[in-house]
Amino acid sequence: MSIIAQYGDIIVILACIFGFFMAWGVGANDVANAMGTSVGSKALTLKQAIMIAILFEFAGAYLAGGAVTSTIRKGIIDPGILSGNPELLVFGMMSALLAAGIWLLVATHFGWPVSTTHSIVGAIVGFAAVGISVDAVNWGKVSKIVASWVVSPVTAGFIAFFLFRSVQRLILDTANPFENAKRYVPMYIFLVGFIVSMVTFTKGLKHIGLDLSWGMSALISVGVAALTMMLGIAMLKKVKADPEADKDYHFASVEKVFGVLMMFTACAMAFAHGSNDVANAVGPLAAIVGVVNSGGEVVQKSVMPAWILLLGGAGIVAGLVMYGHKVIATVGNNITELTPSRGFAATLAAATTVVVASGTGLPISTTHTLVGAVLGVGIARGLAALNLRVVGTIFASWIVTLPAGAILAIMFFFMFKGMFT
């Protein structure tokens, strides 16, 4: 207790710096998941994608990023074990933020799309198991997270595969693809509006007191989807066939129609991502601030102050602007060649998987889900369409993420313990 009373201010300042650094890493690495397909498919320029991401990621993070942090309650650590030594939780959460932030910086430098969720989980498991005791970790919860590594990309891959197959059958492989694109794309826009509203209502808005039932969320989402479809139809009226461009590439005009669709998926994915993944950066920070403010009491529920969400939102935007282009290139260009029709199938499949998972309470990673979806689209065009070397590198970086976060966190944990005690 005396350590927290003595060094409280220093601890909070350090925690804010590490929290901002971690949010910067989320922006640099994870926002590319929401934007990679839009940029890779040429539906948006890098500048447009960054502007959309700044606006919608920040709105998602601030409006729906969480009023009560469940980092401690998520069940990775048993807070009861720490009630006698609250400083251990504080040192641990500080080391988890710093470790995950450093790993994200390394991964982003090499253009690897890794999971921020798994980085922070690995770091928390590492310090808890080694620094406190093996019993302090809820291994059942951890095994669920590991299972989600396989489940989420495979599910998204399947959905993306069948979505793109439907695009091929209904539009691309027909006698008049442009007319059919105009006929069927509004239905896909409706689907996008519905799915992403569901992501937001089931996964995002609980934090601002809008804890809607699944049925109510579905009802509102149908309304949102209908409005989105009407807006989409109005935008599609402006898209005209370009016979000149079609001579060079048979589907040039059709892809213009899908470009309109990608605008919707990009905005929506950014909002849902901001509301969901800002917690990775600000959750541990809120836990530290909660312990310091309560004079060393490990509280099960700590209210998320608005300034912490602002700090997280600002960190995400800074990371995206300064370094986000690296991972955007990997997800958008290097796995398989993306066009707006393929990018749409991948983004919608990823969003759908997130909805299903949040409905069942499975902790999943947006990164793994989106990469799985991009792979699914590539496979729909035949294995030759995939860059297997890049895919192999991505899988290897996923496997390394948990132990990397854990080892770094253990080192920092003992460093902080030595510094403050």
| Tens digits of residue pLDDT in 323-378 | 877 777 776 666 777 788 888 888 888 877 876 666 666 667 777 888 888 888 88
Q: What is the CA 63 to chain-centroid distance, rounded? A: 16
CA distance 272 to 69: 17
Number of other residues whose CB lies within 10 A of the CB of residue 5? 10
DSSP state letter for 303 = E
Domain positions in the chain: 2-420
pLDDT at residue 222 in the model:
92
Q: Which amino acid is at 50?
A: I
DSSP string spanning 161-213? HHHHHHHIIIIITSS-HHHHHHHHHHHHHHHHHHHHHHHIIIIIGGGGT----
401 closest CA partner among 118, 78, 29: 118
DSSP string spanning 49-108? HHHHHHHHHHHHHHHHS-SEE-TTTTSSB-HHHHTT-HHHHHHHHHHHHHHHHHHHHHHH
Residues of the chain scoring pLDDT < 70:
1, 33-34, 63-75, 79, 82, 199-200, 202-211, 272, 275-276, 296, 298-304, 331-334, 355-363, 384
Tell me the helices (H) and strands (E) count for the chain, helix number first: 16, 2
pTM: 0.79
Residue 59 has, within 13 A of its CA and on its CB side, a CA count of: 13
User: Quick check: 30 and 366 in contact, CB under 8 A?
Assistant: yes
- Each residue of 181-226: pLDDT tens digit? 888 888 888 988 887 777 667 655 655 566 677 788 889 889 989 9
pLDDT at residue 149 in the model:
73
Find all residues with CB under 8 Å of 35, minimum gap 6, and list them.
44, 49, 50, 52, 53, 266, 269, 270, 324, 328, 332
pLDDT at residue 67 in the model:
41
pLDDT at residue 73 in the model:
43
Q: Which amino acid is at 384?
A: A
302 closest CA partner among 323, 281, 282, 273: 282
What phi and psi values does residue 348 have, to the nearest 5 degrees? -65, -40
Where does residue 43 fall: left (phi above 0), alpha (psi -120 to 50 degrees), or beta otherwise? alpha
